[in-house]
Amino acid sequence: MSQLAPDIPSRTANLINGEWLDVGDGHFTVVLDKYHGTEMARLPHATSAQMETAIAAASASRLALAEMSAGDRSARLEALADLLQQRDEALARLIVAEAGKPIGYARAEIARCISTVRTAAAEALRFGGEVVPMDFGAGRGRTAFTRRFPVGVVAAITPFNFPLNLVLHKVAPAMAVGCPVVLKPAPQAPLCSLALAGMLQEIGWPAGAFSVLVCGIPVAEQLVTDTRVAMLSFTGSDSVGWHLKRICGKKKVALELGGNGSVVIDHGTDLAAAAKAVAMGANLYAGQTCISTQRIFAVASVFDEFRDLLVREYENLVAGDPSDDSVTVGPVIDAHHFARISDWVAEAVRDGAEVLAGGSATDAARHVFAPTLLTNVARSARVSCSEVFGPVAVLERVENFEAALRAVNDSTYGLQAGVFTHHIRHMTLAHEQLEVGAVIINSAPGFRVDSMPYGGVKDSGLGREGLRYAMEEMTEPRLLVF
């Protein structure tokens, strides 16, 4: 078998109930190196019968997981973290190839993966219920407490942009609480998920408790609708996420969806530092994160100075080969999204937008789009009101800080927002008024630590990820009164 990297066997099969199966329904997903366009793997699409096998095995594995102590689950997670650490550079190179992520950012993703798994290992030991006070009235003389029990089989559907860490944000908390997982990875970048499956075999995780299936939409929807599946955990586009919620039935649902992350630039802040952070936040990994900076609102008194500083920072960004340490902006994930981004920018310009930086491809053959900054953009333009998921941001002048907050809220999304301010009152006002899952002060909205509660409101999602918070989503409290 060919090797993707020295420590990672190449996988060209689905893992179903502990078996690698290289025969499917006759259709295949071809995984390409996103910069060079060369074929990395050809993966069979799982059949409906294979999905049935995976779900049945996951359901049956609940007994084996229930017999594992919290200490056992924590030890397996620590063993997984050790494997990730041993193979960190090989995994980073795999992310560069299959996801087109710049190597520095890919290495940072692997570091986060290790932190994610070690945090889950620690949380497995301290996760529990609570004592419920009721020694009064009808409860006089009684004691009550809750224990949290795993909900059962989790259907995990993940995106391409963090092909290992966002998988682990579903798998690691499920392992910590004892939930089996059936994973459907992103078709653009499934190889990290298959590498993870191999590592779970190495640490001795029960065979049926983790399956990975590359499959078409009907088989994926079979996973979502099956009544033996207790929870759907989905990360991806808002249109797909809300559709899956509609069809999934009575199961628990956690949705981490899109955004068009906003930044507010207040007067009195360090404009040079803010410009550097915003330029990076809008363009790192070609803007292909759901908390990438997309809408920038600068108060009128600092707009001109901030605009000039921001354009200068844009000029310093390097686009090109993601394996190059100097590159910030690599390729867009595929031809479809490259064309969409190009069309949206052209549409905005036709309707009167001014191009401050970029505006076109730097290497169309390799799907590299220039870091692009627009201004005077119509509110109805898709680069403003929709999620670009590309290296495109819009900068607009607002009268004052309160007007900036209103502009941020004028969106169907509400994931995270960044606010650059040195005024305590403005910080608290932003926290009180912004309709988002998190307000990040003096940083771009792309800030995330893996243990923090992460998720959004409005079209940006439902529920929270972050290890302990995901573990709560994947368990139910059961009360004992005596």
DSSP state, residue 322: T
Task: With beta carbons less than 8 A apart as the criterion, state whether 161 and 289 touch.
Answer: yes
Q: In 10 A of CB 204, how many CB atoms? A: 10
Q: Which amino acid is at 95?
A: I
Tokens representing 469 are: 């918070």
Task: With beta carbons less than 8 A apart as the criterion, state whether 378 and 387 touch.
Answer: no
DSSP state, residue 53: H
Whether 52 is a known active-site residue: answer no
Whether 290 is a known active-site residue: answer yes
| CA–CA gap between residue 393 and residue 287 (Å, rounded) | 9
**How far is the CA of 173 from the CAs of 115, 150, 232, in angstroms?**
13, 11, 14
Task: With beta carbons less than 8 A apart as the criterion, state whether 23 and 44 touch.
Answer: yes
| CA–CA gap between residue 295 and residue 262 (Å, rounded) | 5
The candidate with the shortest Cα–Cα distance to 174, out of 478, 477, 465, is: 465
Of 98, 248, 290, 387, catalytic: 290
| CA–CA gap between residue 395 and residue 379 (Å, rounded) | 12
Cβ contacts of 388 within 8 Å, gap of 6 or more: 260, 287, 294, 341, 344, 382
Task: With beta carbons less than 8 A apart as the criterion, state whether 250 and 230 touch.
Answer: no
Backbone angles phi, psi at 126, to 5 degrees: -115, 0
CA end-to-end span of the chain: 60
Of 98, 109, 123, 256, catalytic: 256
**Residues acting as catalytic residues:** 256, 290
